């Protein structure tokens, strides 16, 4: 039987505010435990929450950039459950009146644009951090240590509709979302730091059925790689189970990174009755037109807009997508170099391939201060006009990364300018043919690979400055005669 998987993704994004969601404690990134606390985020008796304006602006910005409808009169709700790292034993969240609903996000999948439907965008507060101490195994911990620095840090949760079909689509969605929050300037967007955390809801259904299958929630995927693998594993697991006539249980499963399997979590979490109700400490939040317009006016260029712009230079959507998700300086460099070369393809290849490869080799993360976009343009133009070879271009680029020189100086100094004069080259070709008559005979007998050997000799005897393609053309012509 044919089965169709359906995937929905819930993503928590940590917002880049100075202070926490409901108090004025600093958002800190430190291993030192319990150093940024107040009665509110520690849940002391008598403390009250007051929402952070910047966080609400950030959430509204994200909701608007994903085409969501903004809820004019929003509310904060208490989500009740007991867990030691949740200080109040309720989490302030938004239930039926979130900041934004019914939006969409444009992503790039298999070199084509696709759209992911967004169900809702709402605010949440983070919990504290538990460390399980004991023999090392998580289920044999002897005690749990708690650090509440993270408690009350603002999060935005973005929930997609159950519309994704593959793990690759899910990865492309997260990549796009990550770029979006970076471009909006609302999050550090670091997956390895947990700035973006995602859960996936997965179901599979008979392809002839209109009804979705039973939903299974997968948690604890810490990287794009584990997201991809966990989804693939879970889809396969569910299909296998259905083929064996089993019933899929609605449950929450945990991705085991080491064993690369999903495992059911304790039923305690699955059967929760959160008793949501409007938080009586926080009056209704009105996001009126004036507020929304102010936020709209702060909207930067979005990733899909950046992509469209880049595509106007002639890049493919795939290239534009990769470039749009690169660091800002790379995009800027591309634009500057392109403006003089007018050759998007070679500019793209030089920047995303050679330049970044060489930077990795010499272990630098940013360009040296003397490195100018014009220098790269010059290299590309020298190659395009056959004044230097492609490999000489690489040599020049390497030199430019370590010292403050111009491409011209390097080419001159290292004698990299090419001989393009056919007359002069022909003379050398003729000499080489005469001097290697045995090789010429073998070539004529079919040993074609020796042509390269002769080209090498030609370039060598010129001191390396000959344009190899001209040399090769002339050689071929001579050999035919």
Partner 1 sequence: MRIENKSIREINSLFQKKEIKPSELYKQVFENTAQSESVLHAHLKLFEEDNLNKVKLSDERYIKNKSLGLLDGIPIAIKDNINLKGYETTCSSKMLSNYISPYSATVINKLDEQQVLYTGKTNLDEFAMGSSTENSAYGLTRNPWNTECVPGGSSGGSAASVAARSSIAALGSDTGGSIRQPASFCGLVGFKPTYGTVSRFGLIAFASSLDQIGPITKYVDDTRIIYHSIRGFDPKDATSVSDKPVIIPSNKTAKVGVIKELMEEGVSEDAKNEVEKIIKLLKAQGIEVIEVSLPLIKLAISIYYLIAPAECSANLARFDGVRYGLRADGKTSYEMMERTRAQGFGSEVKRRILLGTYALSAGYFDAYYGKALLARKKMIDEFNQIFKQVDYLISPTTPTQAFKAGEKTSNPLEMYMSDLCTIPANLAGLPSISIPTGLSKEKLPLGVQIISKALTDDSLLDFSEMIEKEVAFKEEPSDWIK
Partner 2 sequence: MSNQFDIDNVSKLASIELEETEKNKLSQDLSIILEHVQAISNLEFDISVDEVFIHPLEKQLNLQEDVVEEFLTHEEALSNAPESKDGKFVVPPSME
Rule CB under 8 A: choose which of 90, 233, 334, 338 binds partner 1. Answer: 90
* Contact of 180 with 103, CB cutoff 8 Å: no
Nearer to partner 2, 124 or 279 (CB): 279
Binding partner of 78, given partner 2, partner 1, none, CB within 5-8 angstroms per partner class:
partner 1
Binding partner of 75, given partner 1, partner 2, none, CB within 5-8 angstroms per partner class:
partner 2
Nearer to partner 1, 1 or 138 (CB): 138
* Contact of 236 with 221, CB cutoff 8 Å: no
What is the C-alpha radius of gyration for the chain, rounded to an integer number of angstroms?
30
Nearer to partner 2, 35 or 364 (CB): 35
Q: Is 124 helix (H, G, I), strand (E, B) or coil?
A: strand
In this structure, is the dihedral angle defined by the CA atoms of residues 361, 363, 365 and 371, taken in order, positive or negative?
negative
- Using CB under 8 A as the binding rule, whether residue 78 contacts partner 1 is answered as yes
Nearest to 157 by CA among 121, 196, 125: 121
Nearer to partner 1, 146 or 331 (CB): 146
Binding partner of 56, given partner 2, partner 1, none, CB within 5-8 angstroms per partner class:
partner 2
Cα(163)–Cα(7) distance, integer angstroms: 6
- Which residues contact partner 2 (rule: CB under 8 A)? 17-19, 23-26, 32-35, 37-39, 42, 50-56, 75, 80, 82-85, 89, 96-97, 130-132, 134, 138-139, 141-148, 266, 268, 273, 275, 278-280, 282-286
Tell how far CA 367 is from the center of its chain: 21
- Using CB under 8 A as the binding rule, whether residue 146 contacts partner 1 is answered as yes
Binding partner of 4, given partner 2, partner 1, none, CB within 5-8 angstroms per partner class:
none
Cα(204)–Cα(255) distance, integer angstroms: 18
Nearest to 470 by CA among 413, 415, 429: 429
Cα(291)–Cα(435) distance, integer angstroms: 83
Contacts of 62 (CB under 8 A, 6+ apart): 13, 100, 121, 156, 158, 180, 181, 184, 186
Binding partner of 145, given partner 1, partner 2, none, CB within 5-8 angstroms per partner class:
partner 2
Smallest gap, in angstroms, from Cβ of residue 24 to partner 2?
Answer: 4
Binding partner of 96, given partner 1, partner 2, none, CB within 5-8 angstroms per partner class:
partner 2
- Using CB under 8 A as the binding rule, whether residue 80 contacts partner 1 is answered as yes
Contacts of 426 (CB under 8 A, 6+ apart): 474, 478
In this structure, is the dihedral angle defined by the CA atoms of residues 211, 215, 221 and 226, taken in order, positive or negative?
negative
Backbone angle region of 198, left / alpha / beta, with phi > 0 → left and psi within -120 to 50 → alpha: beta
Phi, psi of 436 (to 5 degrees): -125, 50
Smallest gap, in angstroms, from Cβ of residue 102 to partner 2?
Answer: 17
Smallest gap, in angstroms, from Cβ of residue 121 to partner 1?
Answer: 22
**Binding-site size, partner 1 (CB under 8 A):** 33
Smallest gap, in angstroms, from Cβ of residue 185 to partner 1?
Answer: 26
Cα(481)–Cα(476) distance, integer angstroms: 9
Cα(121)–Cα(115) distance, integer angstroms: 16
Binding partner of 90, given partner 1, partner 2, none, CB within 5-8 angstroms per partner class:
partner 1
Rule CB under 8 A: choose which of 49, 98, 189, 213 binds partner 1. Answer: 49
CA distances from 225 to 166, 209, 215, 221 (A): 13, 31, 22, 8
- Using CB under 8 A as the binding rule, whether residue 47 contacts partner 1 is answered as yes
Binding partner of 132, given partner 1, partner 2, none, CB within 5-8 angstroms per partner class:
partner 2
Residues 266-295 that bind partner 1 (CB under 8 A): 268, 273, 275-277, 279-283
Smallest gap, in angstroms, from Cβ of residue 123 to partner 1?
Answer: 14
Nearer to partner 2, 71 or 238 (CB): 71
Cα(441)–Cα(105) distance, integer angstroms: 65
Smallest gap, in angstroms, from Cβ of residue 93 to partner 2?
Answer: 15
Residues 239-268 that bind partner 1 (CB under 8 A): 268
* Contact of 182 with 326, CB cutoff 8 Å: no
Smallest gap, in angstroms, from Cβ of residue 201 to partner 2?
Answer: 23
Binding partner of 43, given partner 1, partner 2, none, CB within 5-8 angstroms per partner class:
partner 1
* Contact of 303 with 325, CB cutoff 8 Å: yes
* Binding region for partner 1 (CB under 8 A): 39, 42-51, 78, 80, 82-84, 87-90, 144, 146, 148, 268, 273, 275-277, 279-283
């Amino acid at each position: 039987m044919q089965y169709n998987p359906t995937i929905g993704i819930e993503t928590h994004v940590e917002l880049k505010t100075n202070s926490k969601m409901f108090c004025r404690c600093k958002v800190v990134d430190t291993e030192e435990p319990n150093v940024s606390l107040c009665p509110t985020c520690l849940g002391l008796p008598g403390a009250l929450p007051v929402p952070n304006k910047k966080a609400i602006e950030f959430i509204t910005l994200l909701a608007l950039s994903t085409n969501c409808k903004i809820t004019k009169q929003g509310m904060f709700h208490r989500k009740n459950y007991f867990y030691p790292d949740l200080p109040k034993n309720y989490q302030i969240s938004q239930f039926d009146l979130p900041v934004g609903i019914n939006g969409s996000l444009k992503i790039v999948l298999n070199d084509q644009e696709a759209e992911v439907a967004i169900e809702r965008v709402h605010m949440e507060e983070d919990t504290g951090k538990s460390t399980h101490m004991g023999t090392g195994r998580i289920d044999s911990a002897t005690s749990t240590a708690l650090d509440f620095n993270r408690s009350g840090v603002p999060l935005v949760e973005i929930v997609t509709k159950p519309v994704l079909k593959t793990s690759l689509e899910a990865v492309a969605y997260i990549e796009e979302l990550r770029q979006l929050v970076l471009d909006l300037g609302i999050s550090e967007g670091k997956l390895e730091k947990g700035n973006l955390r995602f859960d996936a809801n997965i179901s599979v259904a008979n392809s002839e059925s209109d009804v979705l299958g039973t939903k299974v929630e997968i948690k604890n995927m810490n990287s794009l790689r584990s997201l991809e693998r966990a989804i693939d594993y879970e889809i396969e697991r569910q299909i296998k189970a259905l083929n064996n006539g089993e019933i899929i249980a609605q449950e929450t499963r945990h991705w085991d990174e080491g064993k690369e399997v999903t495992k059911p979590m304790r039923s305690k979490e699955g059967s929760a009755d959160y008793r949501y109700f409007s938080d009586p400490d926080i009056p209704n939040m009105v996001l009126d037109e004036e507020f929304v317009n102010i936020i709209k006016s702060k909207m930067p260029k979005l990733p899909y807009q950046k992509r469209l712009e880049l595509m106007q230079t002639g890049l493919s959507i795939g290239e534009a997508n990769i470039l749009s998700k690169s660091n800002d300086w790379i995009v800027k460099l591309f634009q500057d170099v392109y403006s003089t070369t007018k050759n998007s393809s070679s500019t793209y290849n030089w920047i995303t391939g050679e330049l970044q490869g060489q930077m990795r080799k010499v272990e630098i993360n940013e360009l040296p201060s003397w490195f100018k976009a014009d220098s790269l343009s010059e290299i590309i133009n020298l190659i395009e006009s056959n004044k230097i070879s492609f490999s000489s271009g690489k040599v020049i680029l390497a030199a430019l990364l370590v010292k403050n020189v111009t491409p011209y100086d390097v080419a001159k100094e290292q004698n990299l300018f090419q001989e393009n004069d056919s007359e002069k080259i022909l003379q050398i070709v003729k000499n080489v043919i005469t001097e290697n008559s045995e090789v010429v005979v073998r070539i004529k007998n079919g040993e074609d690979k020796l042509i390269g050997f002769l080209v090498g000799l030609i370039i060598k005897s010129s001191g390396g400055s000959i344009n190899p393609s001209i040399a090769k053309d002339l050689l071929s012509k001579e050999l035919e005669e």
